[in-house]
Structures are given as structure tokens and as C-alpha cells.
Amino acid sequence: MAFTLKIESKTLFGNKAVDFGQLIHNCGLQFGHNNEFYILEEGAADNTVILYNPSRIGRGIFFDGRRMKEGKVEISYNIPTTEAEIIDFICVAKELERQLKKVEMYCVEEKCKYTTAQLEQNKERMVQFCREKLNEFCANKEYSSYIFTLAMWPLELTEEMVANFETCTDLREFEQILHDKQSLDVYYAKPRLLQKQTGEVGAFYTFTEECESIFPIKKDGFFCMKRIDIDESFVRYYIFSEDRLMDGLYDYDKFVQYMLKQGATYYDKSHILVPSMTKEQIEKLAEETK
């Protein structure tokens, strides 16, 4: 579920092109694009990007600028999202109107037109609707997992989070958790997937020296746009100070169990936050995970 605005310049004369650099500067935003694992990477992909506010990271605002030279842009946010991101969304709409002077804004889901004044007037209603949908999502006991795609990377809610969000009366805790989880200076691990001629698929992860990282607890615990069944998984160790991979492939399950004993904490329901390690510690790790 999303809230989508198609914004089109209606100016007969003057500027019809969107200055994207000016837009992100004036709105205080940064951007990137999702890879196949829903992890944000730098830059744009075919002029479509995810916008986010580094001081209050939420689920990300989708920006389709493939026709922005013609004065046509599409922006949307996922529901539920945070109050701060709704404010950022309105800010983007206002900046587009400022640049293009005269625009038409059409909401795809509601099948009606909006003005920026109406967006500002309806802000509280939009926030309330997101809170209601968050309550509903977490109250549905038919789900086996509760996963949100976010601006930076996915998050699977813990049982405690689900219980809290099922009955929350505002979005403050939701907003704080989403920001705290994404503002960490860490590497979010994604596997390299390789398929043998026999059809078996292997997942290969990399753990880097002196790099705090997030890893899935299970070998197939990553989120991917395509459904992929994993037959085996391994981890490799990269010694950053020497710019080299250690020889060999190491057992992934043993890696996770060893890290839990060495102080790894649970990042969310299906991932752990792995502490950084020195070269000497990784060499010991390699011995334990052969």
C-alpha cells in the first residue's frame, strides 16, 4: 500500500524541467536506489531513486524522475510510514511546485487531485491512517513474519515490536526504531549467489576485518526480490589491512554460532549485529569455522 502523487507542470511558458540537485538540497534529503536485496546503494537507477532524510530515516520516498525534463514526476511513500517522512514527502511536493510554478497533482490511489495546501491540511489524517495500518498489520496473527522494506535495508520486527505496534496510539516509537536501526555505521551483509550446473545454489557471504556488520541468522535469511532456495552457504574472510581474502570457504552456521558467543547481538528477529574483529581475531575465527 502506498500514497502516490503524479505531479505534472502546467506552465505554458518558462521552466518545465526539475532541478534534482536543487530539490534534494532544499529538502535536506539524500538518495540512492535499491538492489535486488532491498539494500540501498549510491546513485540513481534509470532516474528512479529512494529519497531519505539522514536525520530521520524512515521507509524512503520513491521518486520517479524518468520524465522530469518534461516536468513530469511521480513520488510515493509506503504505508505505514513515519510522521517525519510524511512531512518530508510534502516538502518534496512543495519544492516541485516551487520549481515548476504551476502544477497538477493527482493521487493514484484516491483518484483525486491535490494541492500542496491540501496536503498540509491533511497531514494529520495521513499520519493517523499510517498509525491505523500499522496497528492492523501487527494485529494480523496469520503472518509468520512482519517485515518492512526501509530506506536503507529491510527490518523484521521482533515479537516485542509487533506487540507494541499493535496497540500504539502514535508513531513516535515506530519512527525512532526505524531511524535508530538504519543510522548505524555498519555493513548490511548480502550474499553472492552462484548456481552449479546441477542446479544447486550456494550463498557466499563476506566478513571484513574491523567492520561491524549485520548478518542473517539463517543462511537463507536474506530478503530478495526473487524467491531463491539455498542449498549451501559459506562465509569468506577479508583482511582489509592487507587487501586480501583469506584462503578457503568457511561454514556459515558455525560462523553465526561463534559470533553469538563472541558478543553478537540481535539486530532484529532474523539478523544479528556482529562486532568488528582484528586480523588476529579473524584468524582464530577461521580456525573455529572450518
How many angstroms separate the CA atoms of 215 and 117, rounded? 44
Q: What is the pLDDT along the chain (290 residues), one digit of tens a residue?
A: 999 999 999 877 666 789 999 999 999 999 999 999 999 998 776 789 999 999 999 999 999 999 988 889 999 999 999 999 999 999 999 999 999 989 999 999 999 999 999 999 999 999 999 999 999 999 999 999 999 999 999 999 999 999 999 999 999 999 999 999 999 999 999 999 988 888 889 899 999 999 999 999 998 888 887 777 888 999 999 999 999 999 999 999 999 999 999 999 999 999 999 999 999 999 999 999 98
187-188, strands of its sheet edge to edge = 187-188, 213-216, 271-274, 265-266
The pTM is what?
A: 0.92
Alpha-carbon distances, residue 68 vs 12, 51, 89, 238 (angstroms): 16, 15, 17, 42
Nearest partner of 1 among 106, 84, 66, 81, judged by Cα: 81
The DSSP output letter for 158 is P
Assign 162 to helix, strand or coil: helix
Assign 226 to helix, strand or coil: coil
Alpha-carbon distances, residue 158 vs 71, 74, 259 (angstroms): 43, 33, 20
Alpha-carbon distances, residue 191 vs 45, 65, 171, 203, 224 (angstroms): 21, 30, 33, 5, 10
Nearest partner of 185 among 157, 155, 207, 214, judged by Cα: 214
265's CB contacts (< 8 A; 6+ apart) are 272, 273
